[in-house]
Amino acid sequence: MSRLAHLIKKEFTQVRRDPAVLRLILIAPIMQLVLFGYAASNDVRNVPVAICDQDNSADSRQLAEEISQSRYFHLTPMAGDPRALEGLLLRGTVQIGLHVPRDFHRTLERGQTAQVGMYVDGTDSNNATVAAAYLTGLLRARGVSLAERSARAAGRRGVTMPGIRSEPRVWYNQDLKSVNFMVPGVFAMILLVLTVNLASLAIVRERETGTLEQLLVTPLRARELLIGKTVPFALMAMFDAGIIFLLARGWFHVPFRGSMALLFGMALVFLLHSLGLGLVISALARTQQEAQLTAFMVVMPNILLSGFMYPVENMPVVIQYVTYLIPLRYFLQIVRGIFLRGVGVEVLWPQMAMLVGFGVVTFAIGALAFRKRL
Amino acid sequence: MNRRRMMAVARAEWIHIRRDPRSLVVILILPVFMLLLYGYGINYDLDRIPFAVWNLDGTQVSRDLIDEFRQNRYFDLRESVLEQRRIEELLDERKVVFVLVVPPDLGGTVGAGRPAEVQFVLDGSDTTRASVALGYIEGVLNDFSGQLQAQWANRQGTQVAAPFTVYPTILYNPDLRSRPFIVPGLIAVLLTLLAGLLTSTCIVREREWGSFETLIASPAAAGEIVLGKLIPYIVIAFANVVLSIVVGWVVFGVVPLGSMALLLTASMVYMAASLGIGLFFSAVSRSQQMAILFAVLLTFLPTILLSGFVFPLRSMPTIIAAIAQIIPATHFLVIIRSLYLKGAGLEILWPQLLVLAGFAVVIVVVAAGRFRKRL
Amino acid sequence: MALAVEVSNLVKRFGDFTAVDGISFSVSKGEVFGFLGPNGAGKSTTIRMLCGLLLPTSGEARIAEHDIYRETELIRRSIGYMPQFFSLYPDLTVRENIEFYAGMYEVPRARARERVEELSGRLGLEGLLDRMTRTLSTGWRQRAALATALVHQPPLAFLDEPTSGVDPVTRRQFWEFIDDLAREGTTVFVTTHVMDEAEHCTRLVIMHDGAIIAEGTPEEMRTRYVQNMVEVQAAPLWEALEALQASPLVREAALFGDALHVQLREEVVDPAEAVRQALGEAGVAVEAAECIPPTMEDVFVALARGGEEAVREASP
């Protein structure tokens, strides 16, 4: 066996014996999948709505009935006092309060326009926007059918109202399921989290236990040490990526439309970057604790600013420039592009070029930091 | 419980903190820095959503409709598409979020007083963006349909176009900006992070130094040690709470509407609970490394993802939403957001505050219990 | 005879601090070369430079006839190194550690197994080969570390304080093992701050504050640097100590177990008699006073003091 093979074998033996690392490797992907696959959902559904129906006529009850049947809304029962609406909104029990006034039915009868009050809790601005738009649309449609009914009642036949409805054709993710967006993101994230965390301990742990000194007097070459220290982490990260890929397809039914070779190929390129990052941290940190905290501080902006959770397009321009320096951003676009859009090199080449550039540069810096002197 | 012994432990811990000014600066600066970076960076106000149009109609109605989108501040028309293949290109390359396809007979259908449909080819890969865009689209179409109905009613000589009108009144955050929603949440999350870092290391550190045995052998009771260790960190955390509130106000213009006293009280109770959790992990871990791993995996990730900081609890499956209830941050987020945005008072927030206080007491007692048993 | 180690004017500075201040010495093949000095004298820094772990600030050194600046790789193949602090993987077994380092030196697998058996037999590690290194006590860890450093049968072994923290019995076994190694032809370069261990060395240098203050065989050391050593038993011992320290004939007096070791000035002809006289004048009863050969510790104390005096005299 060559020196390199001995080194790699030793790394695996150590991983096998370290419950904390094993946990990180086995639990982290599953935990992230559960969290992001199930919990991370911005889908507007079950928005709690309360109706204060002071009219209590067939028309107003019909209104409530229609809302309760929509999959977007969940009707919360309440008493007939409009002042109670405010309390419900303040407590956050409901997100939207509707007030149907006492003379609703009579106004309709007279052929006049009634006012329906709608109070939206705007705290969560996005959710509020979407929910309010959906509810307004639903009520307007109801208004149109009421108008048609009264026209028919007036004896005019075949009357319709003009209007424009949207007919959305959603591409890449027909049902707008968050899981289809999130799970490919986890695929990218796990590669980063795992390798940065493990690689950041690579040198500093040997230094803390005192083994580095013993290792450095052997004829082991710097580049052998570098490869021996990174290959096991790369293999473990790819193993996790494989698990996530299988679960994404088999359990979460995330569509996969692109090339698998391209996906895993780019994953390897991304690993160059994340391993390099870990090595830099490992070379700079004095203790394992410092290395772990630094790794954590590096992973944070990757989670929040890469487009993993929040669209980069929404960020202020200055921050958008910052995100160009986060290679995870390109890798996410590649992974999601391959998973959901089925695009390949012809579309993704700019991101790939950036990723290759970052991968080579970061790994080179990491390798430099990994000098063989004490 | 002996107050003097407890304060002696607190003083010793305080000396450790003070002797390490680098860490102290990091502890005070870091949350402020992150609040600035992420408060500024995280923003999910979608405005100027890029879109393209493929107009197959060419009548005044379709031009009006497109104008309606162009004039709306949420949309940004990038291109008029001339052939179907281009739609695919634009979406594949992420140049636009959606393409509005106006069918050939829109003008005729609307003119005849019949409902018509327009197509939106939407990039669904980023679900948040897509569903918010759909919400805005729905809003524009609602208004436009209202106008059409009014015009039509006029032409038909009917007096009333619509039997009733609905105009949403937006409460608490009338401009529907995401910042007033995110900044208070961010303060809560950063405090959690801080608490985890502060305490998860402090007991294990002592164990690694070997001074732990001396401490255990002393007559100080476990509760005195745990509380004594907590006190200095609560002081630091208090400084951080105040700093965060000031930064939120000065930099982001986000000011709590509710009582400042209640905000500070609730923050302190929350910090006690979070610090207690960190202390618990610190007491059960064998190494600092493990303590940090615990802190990250078991407190920090769930706090970001499950507490309602980003994703609303009601969008989660029931089981996960139930799990979210055992995370203190879930309750603190309700309090801090209600205080900032709604100006709610104790009469509304007392259940959450009670839950937090309960957490704090239970976790400190449990941590003290775990503490004595092991060396 | 060929030289295993050849050092001239080696200097290492860390910022303003000079850890090693222009030392020169050489070690012949087959020697047990002792490198003595208190903690902080610069021993470990020197060893690290010689092993190629640290670059010197200036000076020359050749290890096994290879240059330490340019031929680090060649040096690494010809040496074994046991660092001062525990340096084995705590989560590997003793056997795994030894075999791992055998792999690093490209010892063929079959040969590596033989070496494991051989070294564990000689060091008494047989029953512990499959124990996690973490669970061993200090003495056993040191044996395992020694086995690891020697697995590839290096012609030159650097042992940095191999006996620190081990009990006296183990310490003796260690030195017997080192003597055996030397007899088999291995050059051993060993540091220690326990002066009496130096008796085992064929030759030694004493380092103090980054400089070499003495060099020679243990015998030469004792005769050259310390004369007129008297062991005194008296009652009360404290008064005797004070009286002797006050005497102009005495260079150095120190407590040594339940006796005093007194070094008199070179010009004193009959040291034992001089001590009796001095104590008699002070009114202290002398039980015994006889001339003794100095221990290495006496040598070191004398040299260290001499070094300080030399410094004091040099500065105005």
What is the C-alpha separation between B32 and A318, in angstroms, rounded?
19
Q: Are residues B64 and B38 in the same domain?
A: no
Q: Are residues B218 and B127 in the same domain?
A: no
Per the domain annotation, does B172 fall within a domain?
no
pLDDT in tens, C88-128: 888 888 998 898 888 888 888 899 899 999 999 888 888 88
Reference A198, options A236, A238, A244; nearest CA is A236
Contact A214 C52 (CB under 8 A): no
The per-residue pLDDT of chain A, averaged, comes to 82
Q: Are residues B55 and B191 in the same domain?
A: no
- HEC sequence for chain B: CCHHHHHHHHHHHHHHHHHCHHHHHHHHHHHHHHHHHHHHHCCCCCCCEEEEEEECCCCHHHHHHHHHHHHCCCEEEEEECCCHHHHHHHHHCCCCCEEEEECCCHHHHHHCCCEEEEEEEEECCCHHHHHHHHHHHHHHHHHHHHHHHHHHHHHHCCCCCCCEEEEEEEECCCCCCCHHHHHHHHHHHHHHHHHHHHHHCHHHHHHHHCHHHHHHHCCCCHHHHHHHHHHHHHHHHHHHHHHHHHHHHHCCCCCCCCCHHHHHHHHHHHHHHHHHHHHHHHHHCCCHHHHHHHHHHHHHHHHHHHCCCCCCHHHCCHHHHHHHCCCHHHHHHHHHHHHHHHCCCHHHHHHHHHHHHHHHHHHHHHHHHHHHHCC
Whether ipTM tops 0.90, in short, is no
C83 CA: distance to closest CA in chain A (Å)? 7
Give the nearest partner residue to C83 out of A213, A218, A220, using CB atoms. Answer: A213
Per the domain annotation, does B171 fall within a domain?
no
Give the nearest partner residue to C76 out of A9, A213, A218, using CB atoms. Answer: A218
Q: Are residues B34 and B109 in the same domain?
A: no
Contact B159 A144 (CB under 8 A): no
Contact B116 A343 (CB under 8 A): no
Q: Are residues B31 and B55 in the same domain?
A: no
Give the nearest partner residue to B115 out of A35, A43, A160, using CB atoms. Answer: A160
Q: Does C131 touch chain A (CB under 8 A)?
A: no
Q: Are residues B326 and B257 in the same domain?
A: yes
Percent residues over pLDDT 90 in chain C:
12
pLDDT at C313 over 50: no
Contact A151 B161 (CB under 8 A): no
Sign of the Cα torsion A328, A330, A333, A336 reads negative
Contact A14 C89 (CB under 8 A): yes
Section C191-199 average pLDDT: 79
Give chains near C: 3+ CB pairs under 8 A: A
Per the domain annotation, does B358 fall within a domain?
yes
Contacts of A33 (CB under 8 A, 6+ apart): A183, A186, A244, A247, A248, A252
A288 CA: distance to closest CA in chain C (Å)? 15
A219 CA: distance to closest CA in chain B (Å)? 31
**pLDDT score recorded for residue A169:** 73
pLDDT in tens, C249-292: 787 787 877 888 887 777 777 877 888 888 888 778 778 888 77
Determine the residue type at B323.
I
Q: Does B93 touch chain A (CB under 8 A)?
A: yes
Chain B residues in contact with A335 (beta carbon < 8 A):
none
What is the C-alpha separation between A12 and A17, in angstroms, rounded?
9
Q: Are residues B149 and B188 in the same domain?
A: no
Q: Which of residues 29-88 of B touch A (CB under 8 A)?
A: 34, 37-38, 40-46, 65
**pLDDT score recorded for residue B288:** 62
**pLDDT score recorded for residue B307:** 84
Q: Which residue has the tokens 């009014």?
A: B150
Chain A residues in contact with C87 (beta carbon < 8 A):
209-211, 213-214
Q: Which residue has the tokens 């809560």?
A: B188
Chain B residues in contact with A111 (beta carbon < 8 A):
159-160
More confident residue, C256 or A266: A266
Per the domain annotation, does B64 fall within a domain?
yes
Q: Against a cut of 0.90, is the pTM above it?
A: no
Q: Are residues B151 and B208 in the same domain?
A: no
More confident residue, C2 or A186: A186
pLDDT at A344 over 70: yes
A361 CA: distance to closest CA in chain B (Å)? 25
Section C131-152 average pLDDT: 88
Q: Does C54 touch chain A (CB under 8 A)?
A: yes
Give the nearest partner residue to C81 out of A5, A14, A214, using CB atoms. Answer: A214
Taking CA–CA distances from C85, the nearest residue in chain A reads A210
Domain that holds residue B120: 49-156
Q: Are residues B234 and B87 in the same domain?
A: no
What is the C-alpha separation between C39 and C230, in angstroms, rounded?
28
Q: Contact at 8 Å (CB) between C277 and C224? A: no
Domains along chain C? 3-222 (3.40.50.300), 227-293 (3.30.70.100)
pLDDT at C316 over 80: no
**pLDDT score recorded for residue C267:** 74
**pLDDT score recorded for residue B358:** 93
A99 CA: distance to closest CA in chain B (Å)? 10
pLDDT band at A157 (very low <50, low <70, confident <90, very high): low
**pLDDT score recorded for residue B204:** 58
Per the domain annotation, does B186 fall within a domain?
yes
Q: Are residues B187 and B304 in the same domain?
A: yes
Strand duo A114-121 + B98-102: pairing: unpaired
Per the domain annotation, does B83 fall within a domain?
yes
B375 CA: distance to closest CA in chain A (Å)? 20
**pLDDT score recorded for residue A373:** 43
Q: Does B306 touch chain A (CB under 8 A)?
A: yes
Angle at the Cα of B310 from the Cα atoms of B306 and B314, rounded to 5 degrees: 60
**pLDDT score recorded for residue A108:** 78
Domains along chain A? 3-41+177-369 (no CATH), 47-153 (3.40.1710.10)
Least confident of A64-73, A187-196, A357-366, B160-169: B160-169
Q: Are residues B53 and B30 in the same domain?
A: no
Taking CA–CA distances from A334, the nearest residue in chain B reads B93
Per the domain annotation, does B143 fall within a domain?
yes
Least confident of A230-239, A342-351, B11-20: B11-20
pLDDT at C315 over 50: no
User: How many Cβ pairs closer than 8 A exist between chain A and C?
Assistant: 78
- Per the structure, how many domains does chain B have? 2
Contact A220 C83 (CB under 8 A): no
- For residue B68, the domain's CATH number is 3.40.1710.10
Residues of chain B below pLDDT 50: 373, 375
Tokens matching residue A239: 């193993």
Contact A373 C73 (CB under 8 A): no
Determine the residue type at C47.
I
B34 CA: distance to closest CA in chain A (Å)? 9
| Mutation site, C46, C55, C100, C133, interface A, largest A CB count within 10 A | C100
Q: Which of residues 181-220 of B touch A (CB under 8 A)?
A: 181, 197, 201
pLDDT at A285 over 90: no
pLDDT at A133 over 90: no
Q: Are residues B145 and B227 in the same domain?
A: no
**pLDDT score recorded for residue B371:** 65
pLDDT at C7 over 80: yes
Q: Contact at 8 Å (CB) between C83 and C142? A: no
